[in-house]
Amino acid sequence: MRVGVIGTGYVGLVAGACFAETGNVVICGDVDAKKIEGLNQGKIPIYEPGLEPLVRGNLADGRLCFTTDVPQVTRESEVIFIAVGTPPDEDGSADLRHVLDVAAAIGDSMNDEKIVVTKSTVPVGTAARVRETIESRTKHPVHVCSNPEFLKEGAALDDFMRPDRVVLGVESPKARQVLEQLYKPFVRTGNPIIFMDIVSAELTKYVANAMLATRISLMNEVARLCDLTGADVDLVRRGVGSDERIGPKFLFPGPGYGGSCFPKDVKALVRTAEEYGYDFKILKAVDGVNLAQKRLFLEKLERHFGPDLSGRTIAVWGLAFKPGTDDMRESPSIVLIEGLLARGAVVHGHDPAAMGSARRIFADRIIYSERDYDALKGADALVVMTDWLEYRSPDFQRMKVLMKTPVIFDARNLYEPARMKELEFTYYPLGREAVS
């Protein structure tokens, strides 16, 4: 099948590479000439395990190419996926300018019947606006569909190649048949392709992310209650997660959720509800809890050291919002580090993948440590913000030698309080017994 993908960000690049891997001829378009030049040389602009060899292999085999000529993508493709960004506006709603600009470009370039699929995360009613835009600029028939993505950064290839489900909002038998054929190789193990109306498909993406964000914020609230009552949030999590009606996923407390999806999508769903005259109280609370959670470990540091951190050196392990990615969008580490700098602290930062992203945010305002232990030299405290595997079993004796004082603030509950006590660390976890 001839497939076009417009937008080579996280979603578009993964989709294009995976469609090519199953034998389709895929052309990906983007207006960023520098990015396209790099992609045609096999250079990947994002950190995603396994993506670079997949792109390189399909480039070499001639099934995948990249271009800045968006009209070419339209002309040469039977199915065209729109995968451009939808950043939040000031009021929290999704900014659809890029999506509608692409729709206009498709309409101006159509040379025959096309199937156009919104892959970007878009609010209810966007597909209708895309159809209206295209049909106003062409006489060729167009089938507009919705196909929300459910990719986890750090596991995107597996999510795309072996999805839990594929959600497709379609309104024509032809679009249903073509898209079912396109996705058939990915669901051979029996996971479903769920066909529905377009509006329901558009809403499904937001509700899925809102549900996961709600679980995270709930457990972060529970962790705060555990701090007050003396309960152990890890034991509470295990007890609750063993209920098969609930399950164990997304029940780990932490410093707040970040990334490109949860913060943006929660706000966008609240805004959509407001446009229809509904006050989405739960999601407003979820968002408020998350904003407060991002400041929690800054508050813990203040309680330990006092509000003035001048002369203090604080090491931060983990800058990306989650392991397996270099993405720092809405990362809790940004709130922490900005707060530390505002209070006069010197910050040593380390992350296995996100050092480049951090430099774009903080420039020379923090010290970048290429090795995790280098960040600990002379540190008054360590804050663990991201649960990368390499942080889970460190050499604690080496840490004590390097640090000025053996104080750990563990926003991910990676270590056991009993062992920290035995090793004579001052240890502040989340919703578990502190050691001093």
CA 432/CA 223 separation, integer angstroms: 8
Phi and psi torsions of 410, nearest 5°:
-110, 95
Residue 64 makes CB contacts below 8 A (sequence gap 6+) with 16, 17, 20, 26, 27, 28, 55, 58
Instruction: Please state at what angle helix 126-135 crosses helix 198-229, rounded to 10 degrees.
Output: 150
Is 261 marked active-site? yes
With 0-12 / 13-18 / 19 or more C-beta atoms within 10 angstroms meaning exposed / middle / buried, residue 395 is exposed
Contact assessment for residue 40 and residue 34, using Cβ atoms and an 8 Å cutoff: no
Contact assessment for residue 3 and residue 74, using Cβ atoms and an 8 Å cutoff: no
Which is catalytic among the residues 18, 28, 145, 261?
Answer: 261
Sign of CA dihedral 71, 75, 76, 80: positive
| Per-residue DSSP letter, 435 | B
Residue listed under structure tokens 């992203």: 357
| DSSP for 24-90, written as a single string | -EEEEE-S-HHHHHHHTTT--SS--TTHHHHHHHHHHTTSEEEES-HHHHHHH-SEEEE-----B-T
At 144 the three-state DSSP class reads strand
Cite the active site residues. 261
